[in-house]
């Protein structure tokens, strides 16, 4: 049984998702949280992962570690997005199983589902049609993690579960314009344009695709829910079940940032998947639901951005 004294290792605890999970668990009274920086533990090295887990003996592993990025980063670095993500997750999952860790929570992404799958996306759609080409490398890696956890769950009856979040955003997000996702990239673009006498902002695509966004603190609550309960199935979508167009998102961020210039849509750039809305009924049916609405979450994220903008670093691959 998991309790407040259980040893919980959060892989990727310094990232946006991992740090949110850490803060949430700490606030709920969990006393034995473990995290280690990538400088001190390279999760791509199997022997190093094994030594670390043998030394720390966690009761639970939460895998929030990944190489992530937007369309441009996925397109420019396909090898790294496929290989390094497989190395990270496979080392954690296999060594956890080898050492007898009975509870493992694997975090993935809604990009595991087919590009043209019916909406909203159901867990049953996994591996039923081709992926979106702009992020298939990352998606393929995450699919292998989901199936590896499922295999261990089925064969060895371990409590290994995969949570697939929709598009996440929040404090500690990546705001580097070369590698960030759409929402933090828009925050930075509108902010910099506002600072530059409300210059026009150019955005990729037509603005017509529809996307769903989940505040990272809500994602952390979903992880805690999975930690404190034995979920009956191996795969769960985590999202809001609500979406909006990219154009509507841009207008919402523009208003919150206070930018009054023009928005220019560059339709020579790709839109990506036409729509990505998660069917979150399985999570709702077992008792979890998001709490933070989009405007509130963006306002909180922008406030964090303003407090940290001078310290934000460009991301290098």
Chain segment 171-222, per-residue pLDDT in tens: 999 898 887 889 999 999 999 999 999 999 999 999 999 999 999 999 999 9
Give the model's pLDDT for residue 68: 79
Residue 290 is assigned to a ligand binding site: no
Give the model's pLDDT for residue 180: 81
- Could you state, in order of their start, the residue ranges of all structural domains in the chain? 7-174+212-242+274-293
Taking the whole predicted model, whether its pTM rises above 0.85 is answered as: yes
Give the model's pLDDT for residue 313: 59
- Rounded CA-CA distance 53/59 in Å is 10
Residue 277 is assigned to a ligand binding site: no
Residue 272 is assigned to a ligand binding site: no
Which portions of the chain are predicted below pLDDT 70? 70, 313-317
- Rounded CA-CA distance 275/208 in Å is 9
CATH 2.40.110.20 fits 7-174+212-242+274-293, yes or no: no
Residue 206 is assigned to a ligand binding site: no
- Which residues are identified as catalytic? 138
Residue 23 is assigned to a ligand binding site: no
By the 8 A CB rule, do 117 and 128 touch?
yes
129-155: b (≥16 Cβ within 10 Å) or e: eebbebbbbbbbbbbbbbebbbebbee
Tell me if residue 214 falls in helix, strand or coil. Answer: strand
Residue 1 is assigned to a ligand binding site: no
**Token code pair at residue 214:** 């989940």
Residue 107 is assigned to a ligand binding site: yes
Give the model's pLDDT for residue 246: 98
Helix 78-98 × helix 46-56 angle, to 10°: 40
Residue 258 is assigned to a ligand binding site: no
φ, ψ of residue 59 to 5 degrees: the values are: -85, -25
């Amino acid at each position: 049984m998991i309790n407040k004294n259980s040893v919980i290792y959060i892989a990727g605890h310094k990232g946006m998702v991992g740090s949110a999970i850490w803060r949430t668990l700490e606030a709920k009274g969990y006393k034995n949280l473990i995290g280690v920086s990538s400088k001190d533990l390279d999760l791509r090295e199997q022997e190093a992962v094994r030594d670390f887990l043998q030394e720390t003996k966690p009761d639970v592993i939460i895998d929030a570690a990944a190489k992530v990025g937007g369309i441009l980063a996925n397109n420019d670095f396909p090898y790294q997005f496929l290989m390094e993500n497989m190395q990270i997750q496979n080392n954690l999952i296999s060594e956890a199983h080898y050492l007898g860790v009975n509870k493992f929570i694997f975090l993935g992404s809604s990009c595991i589902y087919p590009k043209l799958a019916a909406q909203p996306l159901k867990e049953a759609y996994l591996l039923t049609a081709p992926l979106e080409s702009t992020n298939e490398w990352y998606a393929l890696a995450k699919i292998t993690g989901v199936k590896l956890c499922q295999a261990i769950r089925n064969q060895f009856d371990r409590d290994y579960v995969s949570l697939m979040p929709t598009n996440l955003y929040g404090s500690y997000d990546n705001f580097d314009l070369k590698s960030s996702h759409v929402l933090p990239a828009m925050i930075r673009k509108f902010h910099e344009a506002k600072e530059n006498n409300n210059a026009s902002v150019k955005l990729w695509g037509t603005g017509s695709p529809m996307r769903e966004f989940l505040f990272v603190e809500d994602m952390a609550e979903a992880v805690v829910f999975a930690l404190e309960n034995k979920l009956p199935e191996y795969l769960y979508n985590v999202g809001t079940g609500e979406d909006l167009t990219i154009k509507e998102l841009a207008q919402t961020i523009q208003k919150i940032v206070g930018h009054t210039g023009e928005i220019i849509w560059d339709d020579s750039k790709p839109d990506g998947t036409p729509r990505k809305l998660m069917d979150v009924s399985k999570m709702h049916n077992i008792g979890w639901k998001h709490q933070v609405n989009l405007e509130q979450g963006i306002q909180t994220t922008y406030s964090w951005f303003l407090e940290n903008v001078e310290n934000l670093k460009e991301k290098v691959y």
